[in-house]
Structure 1
Amino acid sequence: MCRKVTDGADLGSFSEGPFDVRTAVAGILPKPRPGLDFDAVPWGNFPHGHDVREAVSLLRADGEPVMDATGVLWGLCADDSRAAVALAVPFLIPLAINAHHPHRTAALAALSGPARARHHGVASREEFLLHRNDPRRHAPDTHDDYGYEVTGYPAGWSVAAARAAITTATTALLPLLGDSDPTVRVDAAYVLATAADPAHTIRTALANGFATESDAMVRAALLLATAEITRAHPHPPTVKWLRERWHDRAEAPEARLSAAVGWLCLTDQSAPEELRRTVDTLADNERAHAMEALPWMSAASGTNEPGLLRCRRCMLHPEEPDPEEVFWDSLF
């Protein structure tokens, strides 16, 4: 399929066929059936499918080394080849929600990989937290703003398949926002922010979690997740709520910064002078490096520039030089 599409074949002709990962995932949902033959899943129809199958098998079997397995999944997504990893999402979810599974945190962290694309190094108001396959602008079987993976596979199909699986599992994933491990709470927010939320169920859960959360970094994660899901499903009261959060001087600096960044992505208004002062004051180098623990920020980072500082520069000080460009220019 990839070669044919690259050569000019109509993408729509492959829709709902054996090479459409959305269809393959839909055949597995709502959850992997106990009797489902893992090997019957069409791994071989998608680039690097057999590698993904082996990685997921290791995770499901409580096997070691888990780092090798998750490294395969993360590596493929980082290399812009996520179709087969999207096919693995329905099998990773049961591991992530199983409090007794030894690899639950690894499975949870891997869930978000195929559900996002074209977000690394992105820190502008126009594109940060943006879901690019907008059904209001793109028919489901045509080209969208995600473009194509390095293999020639339509990236939007991979992202849509992963998000469909996560959306179906929303009820099972939501309790992770209350997990005793702060890292799990952060990663759960990152995963849930990719789900469809037309009924505002996830947004409500994020707000409820924020109301009782005491960990500053988790509070920041809940705000970024709220902003991301609100960007996909506009909700004016939430935009106002985020403004109140960055305006609140009693709030943790990490949360105020996340609220400010999220608010900037949800409005066309010019950045108020108070917001500029708040971000410029709080976004120091030490805090920026600490906030790399938030997956949104680590994804936005560039060469010699943590994600928070990249957001600050791109959103508030676009006239400043890009450290990444400066670095590459220095090599020549």
Structure 2
Amino acid sequence: MTHEVNDQAGGPLDVRVVVAGIRAEAKDEFLFEEVPWDRFPEGVTVRQCMERLLAGEAVRPSLARLIGLCADDMRAAVALTVPFLIRIGTDPKGRHRAEALAVTAEAARMRHQGVCTRADMLRFRGDDEWFFEVTGYLQNWSVQAARDAIAADGDLLLPLLDDPDPEVRIAAAYALAAASAREESILRAFRARLLAEHDPVVRAGLPMAIAQLALAHQDARTVEWMRFCWSDASRPPEVRVSAALGWMCLTDLAVPDELRAVLDEFATDEMARLMAPLPWMRAAEDTSTDGLRRCLRTMLHPGTCDSPYSADAEDRWDDPWS
């Protein structure tokens, strides 16, 4: 298998190469005929979804189909859509901009990003580990192709951090957090937006976006910035809670009592409901526990079983953060 994959690297079946080779004019004018969809699993279906999107027909089902392919670990052909979905998401007249950007962001993340341990919740896997989609295609290539496409169109996405629609701002931040390059300019934009942001849900999402991008690019300075954020009493509670999560994901240092005190005070049921719409929290939730509660249980008590049916379940229901 290793030999077969290496033989295809850089060739016509390497989706990274194909996405990078889409002409700027083809992206801007939605020239789907220039994209070799049929080289990749479900490519014909994906092209049909994109044609319906462009025509304004069955928009929600088409977007749902693309998200479903990502959820089912079949994102190679979806990676081909990223440059086009970005342009749909940046169209001020579009009616489904946030949803299009959400597909862009999901194509750039492996399914295992939903885990909520300190080590893995925000981590992008490197080339030293191979993961295969259910079709047998190398998932690393699909994700890298999408991340590269986001970085290449960063100039289109960055202005969306100031979009009037808070859902678009969240989706843009989620997508930009996956960019494979240009991290310095994106981090600056995230921090500037955080200072200006008035919506508490968006404010809660921005530290998560900052942490994920910083982790991917090994930006050590962000660890101290996160600590400053969660320890700063002048910051809004949702920013402090989100920064606390980000700090725990960026370092393996022992959790200080000061951070635990911040979470004890502000990581309430109300805060969990406020943060629930964030894509990072939706990825972490399960059928019995919201994302924030599950993250804190896993990060602060890593030995605790995640199953509600474990022997200590009754005790844990009495202490929702345990």
Using the size of structure 1 for normalisation, the TM-score is 0.88
1:1-332, aligned counterparts within 5 Å? 5=1, 10-30=4-24, 32-33=26-27, 37-61=31-55, 63-133=56-126, 138=127, 144-198=128-182, 200-323=184-307, 326=310
CA 1:303 to 1:325, structure 2 compared with 1: closer, same or farther past 3 Å? farther
Letter in 2 for 1:50: V
- Find the aligned partners of 1:236 and 1:265 in 2 and give their Cα distance: 12
Change (3 A) 1:243 1:205: same
Provide the aligned C-alpha RMSD in A. 2.1
- Distance change (3 Å), C-alpha of 1:69 and 1:34: same
Quick one: which amino acid aligns to residue 118 of structure 1?
R
1:240 partner SS:
helix
For residue 295 of structure 1, report the CA deviation from its aligned partner.
0.3
Q: Contact (CA 8 Å) 1:59, 1:69: kept in 2 or not? A: yes
Give identity over the alignment, percent: 45
Aligned in 2, Cα 1:326/1:65: closer, same or farther, shift over 3 Å? farther
Is the Cα contact below 8 Å between 1:217 and 1:255 reproduced in 2?
no
Q: Structure 1 unaligned segments of length 5 or more: list them.
A: 139-143
Q: Aligned residue pairs: how many?
A: 312
Secondary structure, aligned partner of 2:12? coil
Q: Note the alpha carbon deviations across 1:155-212, whole angstroms, 9 max, x for none.
A: 0000010011100000111000000111111111000000024560100000111111
Q: CA deviation at 1:279?
A: 1.6
Q: After superposition, give the CA deviation of every residue in 1:95-117 in whole Å (9 maximum; x if it has no partner).
A: 11111123322211211111000
Cα separation, 1, equivalents of 2:135 and 2:309: 27
Distance in 2 between residues matched to 1:36 and 1:59, nearest whole Å: 11
Question: CA, structure 1 residues 80+252, in 2 after alignment: closer, same or farther (shift >3 Å)?
Answer: same
User: 2 CA distance for matches of 1:293 and 1:262?
Assistant: 17
Structure 2 unaligned spans of 5+? 314-322
How big is the shift at 1:307?
Answer: 1.3
Distance 1:37 1:306 in 2: 41
- AA aligned opposite 1:74: I
Residues 101/263 of structure 1: CA separation in 2 closer, same or farther (3 Å cut): same
Matched residues in 1 for 2:268 and 2:28: separation? 50
Moved more, 47-56 or 311-320: 311-320
> Cα gap change, 1:145/1:300 in structure 2, threshold over 3 Å: closer, same or farther?
farther
